């Protein structure tokens, strides 16, 4: 052993003198510092506005960035050891080595030890440098997060050391078989990179076994739990890597081409034995893992078969729960059950955690032994049929340690089966369904720690499953000095037992299955409107939150008005306490079935991960900006805004407002049947509208509901994170149009989808698209209801809904009945908006502005406007007056008067009356779920003077007004169903420099009513595309189809149905002035319509090739568009018979663009009347 160590020391010194060693150290430290600078950037003082920025904190290095970091050092191992055996000949010391009678195993083992120690030394030095740098920056108030020494030691010796040892063995083996160091280096780096790629494409289920970094079940590390739950299997796995490394080094001795007097057979046998031990450990761990998976699959199959079995109605749960963390829990429960209305039961079926053993069970005080409890299914046969209205009492005693895998048996996708490169962001959502450790207990509803009627399957399916609400009265005992979060927890003083603390859970209203979160928390409380707001934090995180006292007034100012408003409208907060509790980063926070929504809330409880609020650097932010903030006049308002932005910036499922509102709606009653998911969202949005006091649910801080589907969609996440900054500058007047663009890739993709109904979501279509549809269309419907009803009637409806169905479920038919009872007919249309696919379409029939005085002689202006809905779907429309205000060189538009939004029935009109003290400059019409899509401006005429406007009817109301229709004209627009195009793949003539910078695939283009949108940044794969023009013809939207000049002919066709034969004059509509279009050629002017900017294809106009086709007869026509004008242009007169006539225009032209906007047929006698209307 002495010679081996002597070789190792000699080689160690040699490597330390080598330049490449210090280059390797510089690369290692550089990679560490680059990582840290990135983390410090996202954790800067501005991180107070972003909860999720702390996901990349230093302490999570081993789970988020350890792979690339250790990859760098694995390559450095190869570079350091690529010539560890071939260098002797180059430096001419081969004879010296022979003279010392070194055996092969001594030489190879010594060189391997030196390479490993040097690489580990460099890695440890890099980590140490990083830790020291953090301490220095923290002392200078420049650092926001510091890794603990324990984290560094675990990272170096627990993760890096075994893997570096393995790669050392690999490079030594390559040295023994390949003499050329360049080939050794290239082969080694290739193997390292290949291994890294395999790790990235391997499913998470097996990634931990292959990567050698982090726990076997990849998850975020947690300060609340300490060691990972599977730390023993992880240590065993690390030992297997060590055995494999030793075995590979042993084989290197056998393959080393140097004569040795010692027999190689024992060394080979020992090496193979060690390799077999390492492989056996890995195989054993995989077998253990697969056994657990097979057990889970058996549970899934058993519960799936029970999914259609009639289940009882659980009405009450009473009894005692004793929790010994990390050891066991004891239950002594009494369950009150009955049959659901219209059902009869011959047995009771419950889902109950299979880790708990039932020690005693009785039915109606009679002990029963004929029950079965297998695979988490408890079956109790009944002596006689149980009917609705009859209640049975079931007494149950159980003990054991709950199994955490008994959760989300119905999940549609298992993230553990996906490639790590695709699903690693989902790890931030946690993978532990529940936690039962010595330091922390999280009993989530999904593991069925309380027996729940029915199978543990399909619980998130509101449309086909009945959600159970039941009364709760439980006495819970936990270790002394611990506390927990649960609905209406109350401390019960006990002088008899000094090891346990006793609490009672007894909410005053029925609740669904709930979570119980317990640990040794630090507890902070404050009183808000008679409700206790409670914050439960891990004690080591209390330091940062002590600075949150600066925000106490902000929290009070934020939440108190909400609670007060809720009480005024009859939506009282139903519990005595609202608890915000810190949970480990490993706890899973999303549902397994569509829409994969957040599970971080329970009645009266909001859960937030340890890397969110506890990681907030309030102290650093306040030290840096507190003095400046104090100089402002309204500090409480400022701090309230900071805290609200921070709480609502959590895009990982723990948004404060989103989870708070569930206590006012979802946790009190829930919809079921057709469109239940949409109903649930709409009711929550309406609750938000009423409680926050806003006139519409869409606030500037509104975010769509969380879904795990979006965690991998970085582009969507970025758009959502940047929502607050973009809103101020781009979408001042059309927030709904802005919301569509934030959710969908493009505006037009969103509007194409909005025509789909909100039923059967997540079943037949793409789940991600269904989530978008649910959130966007649900928001539109909620906004329509809120605007049409007003705050008072909306609150009255919500209050009546909760009072009537509290502790139960309701259907869309129940909504209709309640609307009739409350005389709110608008809600009757809710069923149509959810189940139908049609959209409204609004046109302005007439408008007038009257200038006069009111009764007091004050000048005022009254604007009357008649808006008609030409479609078969009812809707809501809003009119908004705006005036220009200017001061010096600055000017802006702001609303002076907004009309009450009016409900418009199908094929009917409403008259909107708006009064303003000053002359209105602009009138804006805002539709909802309409073919119009965007808010549009109406240019108001000169006011008509009138002596007194007080006698006029100033109410907005339905009217008998109708749009003007001319029997002697037929207009076909590019948005009509009678318009279609030929689109063959072709390359447009000419070259556009801007195409060099196009983004995305050129085959992926947004569609607008079945035709691709014009994209100035990409080569259109099809000839014809649609864009917006201010001068275009249109009933609902001003658009035109345009073709870039091509050599091939592709035709656009306008088809009209003439009701009478005769002499018809054809007119063709140009959306632009030809001379202006030519002057703007290749400039791609940006045009804004409805607050949406789009590029305009302007260019020289040439001769259009037209043809009129009827009954097989074709007449070609040439139209010189360069001599035309914007608007209608006469083409010619044609004698036509009754029936279908087509007008076709070719994409081939001698100009730059061809516009297909609209055509109009006029009877010859009516031409003068409609020459230029």
Residue 101 counted as domain residue: yes
Of 88-92, 377-381, 487-491, least confident by mean pLDDT is 88-92
Confidence band, pLDDT 50/70/90 cuts, at residue 553: low
- CATH at 862: 2.60.40
Residue 848 counted as domain residue: yes
Task: Mark whether 921 and 789 lie in a shared domain.
Answer: no
pLDDT tens for 887-925 read 444 444 444 556 678 889 888 999 888 888 877 777 888
State the pLDDT at residue 380: 94
Residue 658 counted as domain residue: no
- Look up residue 26 and give its two tokens: 């510089």
Residue 379 pLDDT more than 90?
Answer: yes
Contact 119, 21 (CB under 8 A): no
pLDDT: which is higher, 751 or 165: 165
Residue 278 counted as domain residue: no
DSSP 643-699: HHHHHHT--SS--HHHHHHTTTTTTTEEE-STTHHHHHHHHHHHHHHHHHT-SSS--
pLDDT tens for 664-676 read 988 999 898 888 8
Report the share of the chain in percent with pLDDT over 90: 25
Q: Which helix (H) or strand (E) holds 427?
A: none
State the pLDDT at residue 40: 57
Residue 1173 pLDDT more than 50?
Answer: no
pLDDT tens for 199-248 read 878 777 777 777 777 666 667 777 788 655 567 778 888 888 899 999 99
Residue 1085 pLDDT more than 50?
Answer: no
Confidence band, pLDDT 50/70/90 cuts, at residue 252: confident
Residue 730 pLDDT more than 80?
Answer: no
Task: Mark whether 1068 and 1115 lie in a shared domain.
Answer: yes
Confidence band, pLDDT 50/70/90 cuts, at residue 389: confident
pLDDT: which is higher, 923 or 623: 923
Confidence band, pLDDT 50/70/90 cuts, at residue 967: low
Helices (H) and strands (E) in the chain, counts: 28, 49
Torsion of CA 717, 720, 724, 727, to 10 degrees: 130
Domain that holds residue 217: 2-267
State the pLDDT at residue 953: 53
Of 815, 828, 740, nearest to 780 by C-alpha is 740
pLDDT tens for 642-692 read 666 666 666 677 777 778 888 998 899 989 888 888 999 899 889 988 888
Residue 994 pLDDT more than 50?
Answer: no
Task: Mark whether 629 and 722 lie in a shared domain.
Answer: no
Rounded to a whole number of angstroms, the CA Rg of the chain reads: 36
DSSP-assigned beta bridge partners for residue 909: 868, 959
Phi and psi angles of residue 137, each rounded to the nearest 5 degrees, phi first? -65, -35
Domain termination site, one of 585, 620, 635:
635
State the pLDDT at residue 316: 96
DSSP-assigned beta bridge partners for residue 1134: 1064
Task: Mark whether 15 and 133 lie in a shared domain.
Answer: yes
Task: Mark whether 586 and 492 lie in a shared domain.
Answer: yes
Residue 711 pLDDT more than 60?
Answer: yes
pLDDT: which is higher, 60 or 2: 2
Domain termination site, one of 267, 295, 315:
267
State the pLDDT at residue 950: 47
Task: Mark whether 893 and 808 lie in a shared domain.
Answer: no
Phi-psi region of 41 (alpha: psi -120 to 50; beta: other; left: phi over 0): alpha
Distance CA 320, CA 689 (A): 40
Of 877, 847, 876, nearest to 864 by C-alpha is 847
Neighbour tally for 290: CB within 10 Å: 11
Task: Mark whether 849 and 817 lie in a shared domain.
Answer: no
Residue 371 pLDDT more than 90?
Answer: yes
Residue 729 pLDDT more than 60?
Answer: no
Phi and psi angles of residue 977, each rounded to the nearest 5 degrees, phi first? -70, -20
Task: Mark whether 169 and 35 lie in a shared domain.
Answer: yes
Q: The pTM is what?
A: 0.81
pLDDT tens for 504-541 read 999 999 999 999 999 999 888 888 888 998 889 888 77
- The arithmetic mean of pLDDT across residues 300-320, rounded, is 90
Distance CA 52, CA 563 (A): 27
pLDDT tens for 19-44 read 878 888 888 778 777 766 665 555 44
- The arithmetic mean of pLDDT across residues 365-384, rounded, is 92
State the pLDDT at residue 486: 95
Task: Look up residue 426 and give its DSSP letter.
Answer: G
Task: Mark whether 1009 and 947 lie in a shared domain.
Answer: no
Task: Mark whether 999 and 932 lie in a shared domain.
Answer: no
State the pLDDT at residue 1088: 42
- CATH at 1138: 2.60.120.260
Contact 1033, 957 (CB under 8 A): no
Average pLDDT of every residue of the chain? 78
Domain termination site, one of 242, 267, 292:
267
Output the 3-class SS for 832-890: HHHHCCCCECEEEEEEEEEEEECCCCCEEEEEEEEEEECCCCCEEEEEEEEEEEEECCE
pLDDT: which is higher, 804 or 597: 804
Confidence band, pLDDT 50/70/90 cuts, at residue 377: very high
Distance CA 1064, CA 1143 (A): 13
Contact 608, 584 (CB under 8 A): no
pLDDT tens for 787-840 read 888 888 999 999 999 999 999 889 999 999 999 999 888 888 888 889 888 889
Task: Mark whether 529 and 443 lie in a shared domain.
Answer: yes
Confidence band, pLDDT 50/70/90 cuts, at residue 998: very low
Distance CA 411, CA 428 (A): 18
DSSP-assigned beta bridge partners for residue 581: 536, 607
The total of structural domains in the chain comes to 5
Residue 482 counted as domain residue: yes
Task: Mark whether 534 and 627 lie in a shared domain.
Answer: yes
Residue 146 counted as domain residue: yes
First to last CA, the chain: 104
State the pLDDT at residue 470: 95
Residue 238 counted as domain residue: yes
Residue 282 counted as domain residue: no
Residue 433 to residues 210, 429, 481, 580, 587: CA-CA distances in angstroms?
A: 24, 11, 25, 19, 6
pLDDT tens for 117-172 read 988 888 888 888 877 776 776 666 555 455 667 777 877 888 888 989 999 999 98
């Amino acid at each position: 052993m002495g010679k081996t160590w002597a070789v190792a020391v000699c080689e160690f010194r040699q490597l330390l003198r080598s330049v490449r060693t210090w280059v390797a150290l510089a690369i290692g430290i550089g990679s560490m510092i680059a990582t840290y600078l990135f983390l410090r950037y996202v954790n800067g003082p501005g991180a107070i506005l972003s909860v999720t920025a702390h996901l990349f904190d230093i302490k999570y290095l081993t789970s988020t960035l350890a792979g690339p970091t250790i990859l760098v050092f694995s390559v450095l191992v190869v570079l350091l050891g690529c010539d560890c055996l071939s260098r002797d000949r180059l430096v001419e010391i081969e004879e010296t080595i022979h003279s010392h009678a070194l055996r092969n195993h001594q030489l190879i083992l010594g060189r391997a030890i030196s390479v490993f120690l040097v690489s580990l030394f460099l890695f440890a030095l890099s980590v140490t440098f990083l830790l020291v740098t953090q301490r220095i920056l923290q002392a200078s108030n420049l650092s926001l997060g510091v890794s603990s020494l324990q984290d560094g030691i675990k990272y170096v010796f627990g993760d890096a050391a075994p893997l570096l040892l393995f790669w050392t063995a690999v490079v030594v083996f390559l040295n023994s078989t390949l003499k050329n160091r360049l080939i050794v280096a290239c082969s080694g780096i290739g193997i390292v990179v290949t291994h890294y790629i395999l790790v990235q494409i391997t499913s998470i289920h097996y990634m931990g076994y292959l990567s050698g970094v982090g726990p076997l079940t990849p998850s975020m590390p947690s300060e609340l739990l300490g060691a990972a739950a599977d730390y023993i299997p992880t240590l065993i796995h690390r030992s297997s890597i060590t055995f494999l490394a030793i075995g590979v080094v042993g084989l290197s001795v056998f393959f080393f081409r140097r004569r040795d007097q010692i027999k190689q057979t024992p060394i080979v046998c020992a090496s193979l034995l060690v390799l077999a031990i390492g492989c056996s450990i890995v195989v054993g761990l995989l077998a253990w893992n697969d056994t657990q998976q097979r057990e889970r699959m058996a549970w899934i199959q058993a519960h799936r078969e029970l999914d259609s079995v009639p289940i009882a109605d659980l009405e009450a749960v009473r009894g005692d729960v004793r929790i010994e963390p990390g050891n066991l829990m004891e239950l002594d429960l009494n369950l009150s059950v009955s049959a659901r209305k219209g059902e009869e039961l011959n047995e009771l079926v419950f889902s109950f955690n299979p880790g708990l053993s039932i020690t005693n069970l009785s039915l109606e005080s009679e002990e029963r032994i004929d029950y079965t409890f297998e695979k988490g299914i408890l079956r109790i046969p009944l002596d006689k049929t149980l009917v609705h209205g009859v209640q049975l009492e079931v007494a149950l005693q159980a003990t054991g340690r709950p199994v955490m895998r008994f959760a989300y048996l119905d999940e549609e996708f298992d993230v553990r089966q996906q490639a790590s490169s695709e699903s690693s962001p989902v790890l931030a959502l946690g993978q532990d369904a529940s936690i039962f450790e010595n330091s922390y207990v999280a009993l989530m509803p999904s593991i069925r720690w309380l027996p729940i009627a029915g199978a543990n399957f399909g619980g998130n399916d509101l449309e086909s499953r009945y959600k159970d609400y039941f009364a709760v009265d439980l006495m819970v005992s936990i270790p002394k000095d611990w506390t927990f979060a649960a609905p209406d927890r109350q401390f019960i003083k006990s002088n008899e037992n000094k090891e346990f603390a006793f609490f009672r859970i007894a909410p005053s209203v029925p609740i669904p299955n709930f979570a119980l979160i317990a640990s040794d928390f630090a507890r902070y409380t404050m009183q808000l409107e008679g409700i206790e707001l409670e914050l439960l934090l891990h004690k080591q995180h209390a330091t940062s939150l002590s600075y949150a006292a600066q925000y106490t007034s902000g929290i009070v100012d934020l939440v108190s008005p909400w609670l007060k408003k809720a009480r005024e409208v009859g939506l009282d907060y139903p519990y005595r306490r609202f608890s915000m509790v810190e949970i480990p980063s490993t706890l899973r926070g999303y549902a397994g079935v569509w829409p994969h929504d957040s599970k971080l809330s329970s009645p009266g409880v909001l859960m937030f991960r340890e890397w969110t609020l506890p990681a907030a650097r309030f102290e650093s932010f306040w030290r840096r900006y507190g003095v400046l903030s104090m100089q402002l006049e309204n500090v409480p308002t400022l701090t309230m805004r900071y805290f609200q932005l921070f709480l609502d910036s959590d895009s990982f499922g723990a948004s404060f407002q989103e989870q708070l509102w569930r206590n006012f709606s979802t946790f009190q009653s829930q919809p079921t049947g057709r469109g239940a998911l949409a109903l649930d969202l709409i009711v929550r949005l309406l609750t938000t509208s009423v409680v926050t006091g806003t006139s519409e649910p869409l606030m500037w801080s509104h975010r769509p509901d969380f879904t795990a589907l979006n965690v991998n969609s970085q582009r969507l996440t970025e758009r959502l994170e940047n929502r607050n900054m973009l809103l101020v500058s781009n979408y001042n007047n059309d927030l709904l149009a802005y919301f569509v663009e934030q959710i969908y890739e493009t505006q037009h993709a969103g509007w194409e989808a909005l025509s789909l109904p909100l039923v059967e979501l997540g079943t037949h279509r793409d789940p991600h698209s269904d989530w978008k549809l649910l959130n966007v269309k649900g928001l539109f419907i909620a906004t329509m209801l809120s605007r049409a009803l007003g705050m008072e009637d909306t609150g009255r409806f919500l209050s009546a809904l909760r009072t009537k169905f509290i502790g139960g479920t309701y259907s869309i038919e129940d909504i209709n009945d309640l609307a009739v009872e409350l005389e709110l007919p608008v809600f009757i249309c809710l069923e149509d908006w959810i189940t139908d696919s049609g959209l409204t379409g609004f046109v302005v029939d007439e408008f007038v502005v009257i200038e006069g005085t009111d009764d007091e002689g004050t000048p005022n202006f009254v604007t009357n406007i008649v808006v008609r809905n030409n479609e078969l779907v009812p809707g809501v429309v809003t009119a908004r007056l705006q005036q220009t205000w200017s001061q010096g060189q600055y000017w802006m538009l702001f609303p002076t008067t907004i009309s009450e939004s009016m409900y418009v029935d199908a094929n009917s009109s409403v008259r909107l009356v708006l009064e303003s003290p000053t002359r209105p400059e602009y009138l804006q019409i805002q539709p909802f779920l309409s073919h119009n899509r965007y808010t549009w401006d109406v240019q108001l005429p000169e006011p008509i003077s009138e002596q007194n406007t007080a006698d006029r009817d100033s109410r907005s109301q339905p009217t008998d007004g109708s749009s003007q229709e001319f029997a002697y004209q037929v207009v076909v627009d590019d948005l009509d169903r009678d318009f279609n195009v030929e689109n063959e793949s072709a390359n447009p003539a000419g070259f556009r420099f801007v195409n060099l910078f196009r983004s995305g695939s050129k085959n992926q283009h947004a569609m607008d009513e079945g035709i691709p949108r014009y994209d100035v940044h990409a080569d259109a794969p099809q000839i014809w595309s649609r864009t917006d023009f201010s001068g275009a013809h249109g009933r609902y939207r001003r658009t035109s189809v345009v073709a870039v000049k091509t050599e091939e002919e592709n035709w656009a066709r306008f088809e009209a149905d003439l009701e009478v034969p005769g002499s018809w004059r054809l007119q063709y509509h140009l959306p632009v002035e030809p001379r202006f279009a030519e002057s703007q050629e290749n400039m791609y002017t940006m045009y804004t319509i409805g607050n949406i900017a789009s590029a305009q294809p302007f260019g020289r106009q040439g001769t259009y090739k037209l043809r009129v086709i009827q009954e097989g007869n074709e007449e070609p026509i040439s139209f010189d568009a360069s001599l035309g004008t914007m608007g209608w242009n006469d083409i010619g007169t044609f004698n036509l018979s009754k029936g279908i006539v087509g007008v076709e225009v070719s994409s081939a032209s001698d100009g730059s663009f061809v516009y297909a906007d609209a055509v109009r047929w006029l009877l010859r006698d009516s031409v003068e009347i409609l020459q230029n209307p």
